[in-house]
Amino acid sequence: MKYTTLPNTDVKVSKICLGTMTWGNQNTEAQGHEQMDYALEQGVNFFDTAELYSVPATPETYGATEKIIGSWFKKTGNREQVVLASKIAGPGDYTAHIRKDGFSKRALTEAIEGSLQRLQTDYIDLYQLHWPGRGVNCFGVRDYPYKTSKQEAENHFEILETLHDFVQQGKIRHIGLSNETPWGTMKYLQTASAHNFPRPITIQNSYSLIHRAYEYGMSEVSLRENIGLLAYSPLAQGVLSGKYLDGKTPEGARGTLFPRFIARYMTNGAQGAVSEYAKVAEKHGLTLSQLALAYINQLPFVTSNIIGATKMQQLKENINSIYIELSEDVLKDIEKVHSLLPNPAP
């Protein structure tokens, strides 16, 4: 395994992070435990979860993933070997079954205390805001939704002040953002600096070969402000494995069970790009998944690449991507496809 540190800390994390959002829906508790056992054996010491999980988000599955992680900690005693990240659910209709007061002090307190209880731990290493309370272009929204975006942004002071109190209590150690924009990220960094509050050290945004929008502004913020990307959906919800090419609908696959999760990656442009990247992978003796993951692993603004799998075979291949070094010839071929079909998935 390869390691780095969370920015501005001495916390050592694996460059591969274990994503967990299918546990409690597509994966059972036993399967979640098996994945954690294997990942830790392979040197993966960084796990990411959220109170929202498992997905799709429903009242019945709320907190299910955190409970599975908590039961594993209790069974194995491995809490100190894991750098654990979780998130408070963002506001909106999708999460109305959880709460309706956004990132208020009350909401943050309820969310953190609930996660600690389900995870059966006294602290969370990295606590993140799952998505902004204002309207932004994420989750398949390509352009800024200026017509529907809320005029008032988050109360950055109240949010950071509340998180500061939890850091002081030792219940969370560091804070991060997710699905954020350059403006939102800089606003949090400026507010933290002005009031001596904890500084966000990571941002968890989507990034894949067919969705490289992070490079439009956020990559510079990452490099100049030292706030690391935790790249999620690096395989575009499995689309960059090639399993949905030519109209295939594999039995039990996430996109087959929940088509809306992959809809943004199934446009003609996106599927055309996937086909071209598959040719690049074949040319260089790689699987498409290996190509897609290895590309992200080597990016200078990426702190860790969040992989997820429903099957152990997928998990093994995804983790092993860390050992693949892409040659200059491979990188040039990737950029050729990107220049012809840039960011076809919103």
Which residue of the set 53, 188, 207, 214 is catalytic? 53
pLDDT above 80: residue 6: yes
Paired tokens of 165: 């109190």
Q: Is 244 a catalytic residue?
A: no
Q: pLDDT band at 246, cuts 50/70/90?
A: confident
pLDDT given at position 252: 80
**Residues in contact with 53: Cβ distance below 8 Å, sequence separation at least 6, in sequence order:** 20, 21, 23, 24, 61, 63, 64, 65, 66
Q: What is the mean pLDDT of residues 2-12?
A: 98
Lowest mean pLDDT segment, chosen from 119-128, 188-197, 248-257, 324-333: 248-257
Beta pairing partners, 320: none
pLDDT tens per residue across span 38-54: 999 999 999 999 999 99
Q: pLDDT band at 151, cuts 50/70/90?
A: confident
Strands (E) in 93-163, as ranges, are: 124-129
Q: What is the mean pLDDT of residues 265-283?
A: 96
When computed from its CA atoms, the radius of gyration of the chain, rounded to whole angstroms, is 19
Quick check: 197 and 163 in contact, CB under 8 A? yes
Q: pLDDT band at 338, cuts 50/70/90?
A: very high
How do 3-5 and 12-14 pair as beta strands? Answer: antiparallel
User: Strand, helix or coil at 156?
Assistant: helix
Quick check: 307 and 17 in contact, CB under 8 A? yes
Q: pLDDT band at 150, cuts 50/70/90?
A: confident
pLDDT tens per residue across span 153-181: 889 999 999 999 999 999 999 999 999 99
Domain segments of the chain as ranges: 3-204, 236-298+310-346
**What pTM value is reported for the model?**
0.96
pLDDT given at position 324: 98
> 114, exposed or middle or buried, with CB in 10 Å at 0-12, 13-18, 19+?
middle
What is the sign, positive or negative, of the torsion defined by CA atoms of 191, 194, 196, 199? positive
Stretch (H or E) spanning 4: strand 3-5
User: Strand, helix or coil at 303?
Assistant: strand
pLDDT above 90: residue 206: yes
What are the two backbone dihedrals, phi and then psi, of residue 253, each rounded to the nearest 5 degrees? -70, 150
Paired tokens of 106: 């009350």
Q: pLDDT band at 321, cuts 50/70/90?
A: very high
Stretch (H or E) spanning 257: helix 254-257
Quick check: 135 and 184 in contact, CB under 8 A? no
pLDDT given at position 153: 83
pLDDT tens per residue across span 256-265: 888 888 999 9
Q: What is the mean pLDDT of residues 52-66?
A: 97
pLDDT given at position 259: 87
How far is the C-alpha of 54 from the C-alpha of 51, rounded, in Å? 8
Quick check: 212 and 178 in contact, CB under 8 A? no
| Chain centroid to CA 127 | 13
pLDDT given at position 106: 98
Q: What is the mean pLDDT of residues 54-79?
A: 97
User: Strand, helix or coil at 208?
Assistant: strand
pLDDT tens per residue across span 279-302: 999 999 999 999 999 999 999 999
Report the topology of domain 3-204: TIM Barrel (3.20.20)
pLDDT given at position 84: 99
